[in-house]
Amino acid sequence: MSDSPPPTSVPAGPASVPPPAQPALADLVPSAARMPASGPPPQPRPSFVFFGVVAAISLVLDVSSKAWAELVLSKRTMVDPAIVLVKDHLSLTLAYNRGGAWGLLQNASEMIRRPFFLLVSALAIAFIVSLYGRLLPGQRALKWGLPLVLGGALGNLSDRIIRSSVIDFIDFRANWIETMNEGIAKAAHGWGITDHWPTFNVADVSICIGVGLMALDMFVSKRGQRVLPPLGHEPLLSTSGSGKPPAA
């Protein structure tokens, strides 16, 4: 046997440990800040289907109510010409208006009155349709107001084409109307003082509601212009031109 000494074992050195991974810049930013700035999903623009449905409902209500008024109220006698709904305030009385609001062009000749109202109505309808096509998703007041105005305008226009006059049958009286007329009479000499509002119809109600909604949209839009737009998400960590994080 060999007398050579057994091989000595070399003590193992420490195992090689990989250096700790440096955290990425994206990991240092809170997850909330890394999320893309996304608001609510975009709303669809107002559709012409909705526009047509609302305008059609307004037109049907006006035409049917006028047909009822002409059928029922025309049979009333001079002794009892009205159907009283609220005593001394609201009643239904049949009337034919050859002019416009407050008797505009009431006594003008047919050669002037008819083309004038037809032209004004056609321009108003074209303007309403054009304006509705440019509405933004958030303009809810105009979304309802424009078709209401259109339905009312078409109702009165159909009367002028068929009868050359508009059927009115809603008769309203109130003390505040007399007070208003007294104030107007101080500025306009010869203005009649009465507590009676000019007789109107369902089309006029639709037009007034629609114009009121249009005015509301203008008021809300002006208020919105005074509010500063919200600030965007600012980065929590800035980077230098080289793309490296700044030194602490």
Active site residues: 168, 204
CA atoms of 128 and 120, how far apart (whole Å):
12
CA 229 to chain centre: 22
| Cα angle value 211/89/149 (rounded, 5°) | 15
Amino acid sitting at position 66: K
Is the torsion defined by CA of 169, 175, 176, 177 positive or negative? positive
Concatenated DSSP letters of 152-186: HHHHHHHHHHHTSSEEEEEEEE-HHHHHHHHHHHH
* Other CB atoms within 10 Å distance of the CB of residue 63: 18
DSSP letter (8 states) at residue 131:
H
Per residue, the 3-state secondary structure of 20-66, as one string, reads: CCCCCHHHHCCHHHHCCCCCCCCCCCCCHHHHHHHHHHHHHHHHHHH
What separation in angstroms does the CA of 206 have from each of 32, 61, 157, 175, 210? 49, 10, 14, 24, 6
State residue 150 phi and psi, 5-degree precision. Answer: -65, -45
